[in-house]
Amino acid sequence: DGGITQSPKYLFRKEGQNVTLSCEQNLNHDAMYWYRQDPGQGLRLIYYSQIVNDFQKGDIAEGYSVSREKKESFPLTVTSAQKNPTAFYLCASTPSGTGAYNEQFFGPGTRLTVL
Amino acid sequence: AQSVSQHNHHVILSEAASLELGCNYSYGGTVNLFWYVQYPGQHLQLLLKYFSGDPLVKGIKGFEAEFIKSKFSFNLRKPSVQWSDTAEYFCAVNARTGGFKTIFGAGTRLFVKA
């Protein structure tokens, strides 16, 4: 089955450590996204990538970094500079073409807790 | 800047009651509109979408939404809810010239009592 996988489902880290969240898709989609979901705030865009080796900052990129070396993979690193990293992180993708017309396909999410 | 406002953060209904969830957006240009749903323990998934044409859009599981351009609204409705509709619902807007960025509302948690 085609879809998006995120691992791990739950992640615990000590304060001050960097952590990388995995996102893999086998939908052959060009665009990929990272969102952060906090209660009462909906989904906020962290980074997005339209094609391999290219990515743009979203609305809350500070303290995060990404890479897009392969079409199917878009890992997110939560650095120690992120002041409030405990959250639910969602990865999504959309098919090629004009992004505005495409529904987003979401992964199951990773819940990160920083102790 | 674009924004999306969902008026109700928590809604509790009994089965068979009618549902209307409000969504307003702030953007003066042409938009594409979406409702997504997140059932407990499941992925966020598309419920319905509006791009153009008939402003009354029908989606999965008996949901529909009406785009009222003059009110910048895209409210979600269902005539008779079921216990299985318990979920969190997100309204989302994408400016047609904005390409890949979609703005999501804060979400509405719906709980349907059996």
The 10s digit of each residue's pLDDT in A10-34 is 999 998 899 999 999 999 999 999 9
Q: Contact, B86 vs B40, CB < 8 A?
A: yes
Q: Is the pLDDT of residue B45 over 90?
A: yes
Give the three-state DSSP class for B70.
Answer: helix
Chain A touched by B17 (CB under 8 Å): no
| Residue A76 β-bridge partners | A21, A66
- Per-residue model confidence (pLDDT) at position B97: 67
Q: Closest approach of chain A CAs to the CA of B83, in angstroms?
A: 22
Query: Chain A residues with CB inside 8 Å of B96's CB?
Result: 100
CB atoms B51 and A101 under 8 Å: yes
| Residue B101 pLDDT level (bands cut at 50, 70, 90) | confident
**d(Cα A22, Cα A75) in Å, to the nearest integer?**
5
H/E segment holding residue B5: strand B3-6
**d(Cα B2, Cα B93) in Å, to the nearest integer?**
8
